Amino acid sequence: MVKPRRRKAAEQERSVTVERCRRLARLIALLSTGPRDRSSLLKLLRLELRGFYRDLDFIRDAGIPITIRKHRYQLNLAARQAIRRLPFPDPGLTLGDVELLIKGKSKAHARLRKRFEALVPAALR
């Protein structure tokens, strides 16, 4: 059995396009129905081999365990948990929008606040 990769700091910060996020989520959805062979995944995702392996590495780097057994790829995590580990694509927010969102007290708010503070000088906050 292949162990899931640990997330690297640089990998956690990678952003994805809306299109790629949709494709990664679709791959997770396909694998959540049971093991699939590579050729069927390539066809369903309309991907070439190289793109498939890039997406697979990206998903594994996000801490989502996918293993291969008998030439079939298998998701080894509940699909809802796996989806929550994917990075969210750029939502197109303004700094004013983000300033409203950072007022919460969760870890997600704290991460967003930290990014906001790194971008906006203290005198302008």
Report, in angstroms and rounded to the nearest whole number, the Rg of the chain calculated over CA atoms.
17
pLDDT score, position 9? 45
Segment 89-115, tens digit of pLDDT: 988 889 999 999 999 999 999 999 999
Give the Å distances, CA to CA, from 50 to 46, 54, 74.
12, 6, 19
What the chain holds in terms of domains, given with CATH numbers, is 9-84 (1.10.10), 95-124 (no CATH)
Segment 4-32, tens digit of pLDDT: 555 444 444 577 899 999 999 999 999 99
**Residue from 10, 18, 5, 11 nearest 88 by CA:** 18
Hey, which residues does 37 pair with through a beta bridge?
72
